[in-house]
Amino acid sequence: MSTLLVSARSLGKKYKLGAASLGTLSLRDRLTDAVRSLRRKRSEAEDFWALRDVSFDLHDAEVIGVIGRNGAGKSTLLKIISQITEPTEGEAHLFGRIASLLEVGVGFHPELSGRENVFLNGAILGMSRAEIRRKFDEIVAFAEVERFVDTPVKRYSSGMYVRLAFAVAAHLEPDVLIVDEVLAVGDIAFQRKCLGKMEDIRAKGRAVLVVSHNMSLISQLCETVIWLDGGRIVKSGPTREVIAAYMAEGLGGSAEWIPEAPLGDAFEYHRVWIDSDSGDAGTVAADSAFDVVFDFTVKRAMPPGRLALMIASAEGTPIMASASTDHLPAIREPWKLGRQRMRCTIPGHLLVPGRYFVTTSEQVELVEVLRERIFAFTITEQNSLTARDGRLGVIAPLLRWRAEEIS
Amino acid sequence: MHKVIKARTGAARLNLAELWEFRELIYFLAWRDILVRYKQTVIGVLWALVRPFVTIVVFTIVFGRFARVPSGSIPYPVLALAGLIAWQLFSTAFSESSSSVVGNSQLVSKVYFPRLIMPLSAIVSSLADFVVTLAMLAMLMLWYRVPVSPTVAWLPLFLLLCLIIALGSGIWFAALYVRYRDIRHLIPFIVQLGLYISPVGFPSSIVPERWRFLYSLNPMAGVIDGFRWSLFGGRNPIYMPGLALSIVLSIAILISGAYYFRNTERLFADII
């Protein structure tokens, strides 16, 4: 028997647009505004619904993911459930203690030491002093900053800072944990650790509401997903279905593809995605190399197969294609059994900034299957002095130029 | 535990129970402010002494020597410092709590806790400096051999009154500051002007009798008189109608401020 922890009914949040009402104002603005509104009635068009008619239930030991593009209303929803801002309409019932982690290290003070910040941040997130004292060693060990607990955090590397901040939050014991895209930080090893911690949280019967652009994280963690767009729920339900629909739209923030259902009995895809060190999920800086990674399982012995990918522009023009048989002689040997990954590295300084679609194909047991436009990704401008943004053409390779003197 | 989140209609309740639940956070934020105030300073907490000390030296020369302000049987520096510690407590507590919400805007937009925690913790942190200046007054009284009157037992009450005034006006300003950034310019102005219109550098007995009640509209006048009376006893009698006015005013400011704050705080995260 599961317990209802959060029940949201028709939540809506309206903001008034226009400089005067969104930001802070001076008294003078306020006065001139009042004079102006005597003459002209405020029009409905100035209202903006960041969230409208959103309902869902969250039970114990349940993890619900919230996905959608930037500006879809995800953060607004979390802020309402966290009681930071008030809904304009609808209501939510909370049964139990809620802790929210909308930003890592909120309340951290750079001048204070790691130890002092753990206590401060813990208190801000709702822990009692006794509770923090009890968990202090565990928190510091989790963050791997034992040697630096008495150093001001302004001298921490950004990695240490983030680890410490997440460690505090990870040791909260609320009934409902609300998390906004905080796992997008830290190195891979630490991310894995955090993921493990989130699994623990659920295993202890707590509920999690998590926003992420990272579809693999969402599909690993959640049974249920809510897809928001323009402040409204587009689709909600079992993770696989919602993510598939979201990806089918092609255009999710996140550059990856996860099959809707297991495919075939000889070969099974788990996921195909873009792995890059630069930018968020789904974006790659123009000067950085990135990998297209295929994650799959070979279920029975078979003759050598072939994976291939094609990148096309947003208009559909093919830009380039590559196949796993291009470079790896080993591929002429039969595929190994079991789960494995194949990576194709696409060099930096190749594609011009813009949106691209990835089409893949796999040839398994001499049968080729084409998967068109399984996801999109964006090459972003470099924003650096040496940027070569805005070049004509579809590729912008970094070519060698040299001056030659003639005697 | 069951909590309902929805658009609020009508006036807000103070919800002191919830404030009590979060009381540890008041302590933590105050502790942070005190730690940060003196981190990476060379003389640290001595700064809390330098400011009143220099002010008293200047006051003694300007008001005590040049202007020959009467100080009764009490040496002028002692009389002035007794007023100054009260004024400085008020001015620190008032300006810190006024800017507490805007100063913690990162917290306001990312975490939930009763927003009144912020001005409250600012008041608590300002008490740290007060303890230091109180010690300084004790030393000065020893130096000038001014005996402590038994009425000193009343001092905590005047201290409380001072904090109520600072908190009441501080929460009014903190709430207004979120919306109107004009407040930033107003705070130092009030603190500076208040130092001259409050009886800090002079005893309020030099105010002509017929203006005395009007003068007491500044609630800090009652507090400073109270400080002097409780420290030095009957030689500095209290003007009772003024004190009564001061008490009524400060409680009115506190209650109205708390309600104004609670009724506007739901917009803080949206407009900060």
What end-to-end distance do the CA atoms of chain B give, in Å? 30
Give yes or no for B266 touching A (CB within 8 A). yes
Identical fold, A4-26+43-248 and A256-389: no
Mean pLDDT, all residues of chain A: 81
Q: Which ranges of chain B would DSSP assign to H, the alpha helix?
A: 16-21, 23-37, 47-59, 76-98, 100-103, 105-110, 117-143, 155-179, 183-197, 212-215, 219-232, 240-264, 268-271
Gap between the Cα atoms of A389 and A379, Å rounded: 11
Instruction: Read off the tokens for B240.
Output: 């009772």
Tell me the pTM.
Answer: 0.74
Q: Across the beta sheet with A338-346, what order do the strands follow?
A: A256-257, A267-276, A290-298, A338-346
The per-residue pLDDT for range A93-144, each reduced to its tens digit, is 999 888 888 887 788 898 899 999 999 999 998 888 999 999 999 999 998 8
Residue A14 scores a pLDDT above 50: yes
Gap between the Cα atoms of A102 and A50, Å rounded: 17
Gap between the Cα atoms of A240 and A38, Å rounded: 54
Residue of A116, A168, A180 to mutate for B, most B C-beta atoms under 10 A: A116
Residue found under tokens 């002010």: B55
In this prediction, residue A193 carries a pLDDT of 79
Q: Which of residues A159 and B111 earns the better pLDDT score?
A: B111
Of A27, A94, A125, nearest to B3 by CB-CB distance is A94
Give yes or no for B23 touching A (CB within 8 A). no
In this prediction, residue A186 carries a pLDDT of 54
In this prediction, residue B243 carries a pLDDT of 92
Share of chain B above pLDDT 70, in %: 100
Yes or no: say if A310 and A293 are a contact pair by the CB < 8 Å rule: no
Of B1, B6, B112, nearest to A82 by CB-CB distance is B112
Residue found under tokens 């990704």: A377
Give yes or no for B11 touching A (CB within 8 A). no
CATH number given to A4-26+43-248 = 3.40.50.300
Give yes or no for B109 touching A (CB within 8 A). yes
Gap between the Cα atoms of B245 and B251, Å rounded: 10
Closest CA to A177 of A237, A126, A140, A225: A126
Q: Mind telling me how many Å the CA of B182 is from chain A's nearest CA?
A: 6
Closest CA to A311 of A397, A375, A382: A375
Q: Mind telling me how many Å the CA of A80 is from chain B's nearest CA?
A: 8
Residue A281 scores a pLDDT above 70: no
Taking the domains of chain A in order of start, what are their residue ranges?
4-26+43-248, 256-389
Gap between the Cα atoms of A28 and B88, Å rounded: 31
B82, amino acid identity: A
User: Beta strand pairing status for A89-94 and A4-16?
Assistant: antiparallel
Q: For domain A256-389, which CATH number applies: 3.20.20.100, 1.10.3720.10, 2.70.50.60, 2.20.28.160?
A: 2.70.50.60
Gap between the Cα atoms of A51 and B96, Å rounded: 36
CB pairs < 8 Å spanning A and B: 113
Q: What is the ipTM of this complex?
A: 0.86
User: B106, A107: Cβ pair inside 8 Å?
Assistant: yes
Q: Mind telling me how many Å the CA of A136 is from chain B's nearest CA?
A: 16
Q: In chain B, which residues have their Cβ closer than 8 Å to the Cβ of A91?
A: 4-6
Chain B residue with Cα closest to A124: B25
CA–chain centroid gap for A343, Å, is: 21
User: B35, A85: Cβ pair inside 8 Å?
Assistant: no
The per-residue pLDDT for range A217-265, each reduced to its tens digit, is 788 888 899 999 889 999 999 988 888 787 666 554 567 788 766 666 7
Residue A64 scores a pLDDT above 60: yes
B200: helix, coil or strand?
coil
